[in-house]
Amino acid sequence: MIDFEPPKPIAQQSVALRTVAENMMRPVSRYFDEHEHEVPWDYINFMHMAMRATGAGSLAPRERKEGEEPKKDRPPIGYQSLAFMLETLAWGDVGMYLVTPGGGLGAAAVEAAGTPEQKKKFLARFAAEKPTFGAMAMTEPQAGSDTSAIRTTAVLDKETNEWVLNGEKIFVTAGHKSLELSDGFVVVWATIDPSAGRAGMRSFVVEAGTPGVKVTKLEHKMGIRASDTASIVLQDARVPFENILGSPEVKTETTTGFKGAMATFDATRPLVAATGIGVARATLELLKEMLAQNGVTIRYGLPRQKLTHIEREVIDMEVMLRSAWLLVIKAVWMADNRKHNPLEASMSKVRAGDVVTRITQRAVELMGPLGYSRDYLLEKWFRDAKITDIYEGTGQINRLIVARNILGYSGRELR
């Protein structure tokens, strides 16, 4: 049964993170928005030390061993804890949250598809003395939402027992920090058999310092400007055989590699949704504060027909925000309890993407020139919001996933 009250450890964590958000993120939020690609090392170093002290180095829940049951009176709350954590940090500043040291999508991919030996090897580095980052590279110039169009190749050199990767990846969140600013890695999706379609897809852990791997571009973005988004070229990049996640055997009747990617997203999409909700909550709180300063208070409890238009708008936004958060809580609860959650994961991300975009846009509109002014963060949050609907599966793709799961269609039947 889902408990909507956060467990005591999560509640305590949220109080501490709120302090970080208020004192280390909000005061410099505008600065790092206006100085894109300047790295907020003070925040990064502080969070790295804090996470090392608490054992949260990879920003990923501890993997339970096969057959291991949660201790009595201590239900699994790993993903729930992350959802509350990321919502609070995004409330502080979503761009800066994205530079929090840790494994990110790269660690999530290793968690979803790696062997116990791979998890021990690659995830341990996030507890190292220096801040370390991880990333995942899937999108290519010709392959966005259609992952079957990926052209990056991985060919096994049988003489050296190494995989040779060639291709280009774009829009890699934290790619620069993972490969050039830390001893991190990027999980690169490539095909080991182009003729097999998605069945030939596999992921490879490409470590920092690998010859033939180069960051060629940093994107200039509308929002989340504190976070780097990189293009990466792989030219005869050699990685050890054991860096492949999953089996190297290709069977056309299965899509093991593709399912590994989707398992990653099932775990992380609700967390992306949580960050969008953090931005929406920040926006709604500031909007109500600004309205109050201008003599507008929200009279809760009155019949709807007796409320002003602005009051109805604010209450409707609060309803949207809470409904989106409940979808996130359900999705992460299912992830913690090892329940299949692709429907719930995609639903939570679709709803959060819609809600944060609508709330931030409407806040700017309601405040008029003040909302559009750079004197306040409303316009920044409006710019930050839209990415929630784009990365880790666009709103359109997640709607397809929801429809397929509800209607019982396969990807081939409903595109």
Claim to verify: residue 262 and residue 385 sit in the same structural domain: yes
What average pLDDT score do residues 172-182 get?
Answer: 96
Note whether 240 and 268 are same-domain residues. Answer: no
Question: Based on the domain organization, do 379 and 329 belong to the same domain?
Answer: yes
Same domain, 210 and 278: no
* pLDDT, average across residues 136-150: 88
Mean pLDDT of 362-376: 96
The reported pLDDT for the residue numbered 254 is 47
392 carries an active-site annotation? yes
289 in the same domain as 387: yes
Is residue 373 located within the same domain as residue 318? yes
Cα–Cα distance between 272 and 389 in angstroms, integer? 9
Q: Give CA–CA dist 403/409, Å, rounded.
A: 8
Q: How many CB atoms lie within 10 A of CB 330?
A: 19
Which is more confident, 308 or 195? 308
Give domain status of residue 3, yes or no: no
| Domain around 386 | 256-407
The answer to whether residue 259 scores a pLDDT higher than 80 is no
Tell me what pLDDT residue 253 has: 46
Q: Do 384 and 95 touch, CB atoms closer than 8 A?
A: yes
CATH code of the domain in which 320 resides: 1.20.140.10
- The total number of structural domains in the chain stands at 3
DSSP 222: S
Domain end call among 101, 119, 151:
101
| Dist CA 85 CA 280 (whole Å) | 15
| Active-site annotation holder among 87, 111, 313, 392 | 392
Domain boundary among 245, 270, 305: 245
Answer yes or no: is 107 within a domain: no
The answer to whether position 13 is within a domain reads: yes
pLDDT higher than 50, residue 79:
yes
pTM for this one? 0.91
The answer on pLDDT for 128 being more than 60 is yes
> Which tokens is 56 given?
């949260």
The first and second tokens of residue 322, run together, are 């809470």
Asked if residue 114 belongs to a domain, the reply is no
Question: What is the C-alpha end-to-end distance of the chain, expressed in Å?
Answer: 34
Yes or no: say if 276 and 385 are a contact pair by the CB < 8 Å rule: yes
| Burial class (CB within 10 angstroms; exposed 0-12, middle 13-18, buried 19+) of 119 | middle
Per-residue pLDDT, averaged over 4-14, amounts to 81
Whether the per-residue pLDDT at 262 is higher than 80: the answer is no
Residue that the structure tokens 């969008």 belong to = 276
Rounded mean pLDDT of the chain? 90
Say which DSSP state 24 is in: I
Mind listing the pLDDT tens digit for each residue in 220-230?
999 999 999 99
| 300-352 pLDDT, tens digit each | 999 999 999 999 999 999 999 999 999 999 999 999 898 999 999 999 999 99
Residue 175 sits in the same domain as residue 196? yes
25 and 158, same domain (yes or no):
no
> So what's the pLDDT on residue 29?
97
CATH code (residue 20): 1.10.540
269 and 393 co-located in one domain:
yes
Residue ending a domain, among 182, 214, 245, is 245
27: Cβ contacts below 8 Å, ≥ 6 apart: none
Indicate the pLDDT class of residue 55, thresholds 50, 70 and 90.
Answer: low
At residue 145, the pLDDT reads 80
Number of Cβ atoms within 10 Å of the Cβ of 234 = 26
pLDDT, position 148: 77
Look at residue 255 and tell me whether its pLDDT is greater than 80: no
Do 201 and 232 have their domain in common?
yes
Q: For residue 109, which of 210, 240, 205 has the smallest C-alpha distance?
A: 205
Where residue 256 falls among pLDDT bands split at 50, 70, 90?
A: low
Classify residue 110: in a domain, yes or no: no
Say if residues 344 and 270 touch (Cβ distance below 8 Å): yes
pLDDT for position 196: 85
Q: What is the CATH number of the domain that holds 220?
A: 2.40.110.10
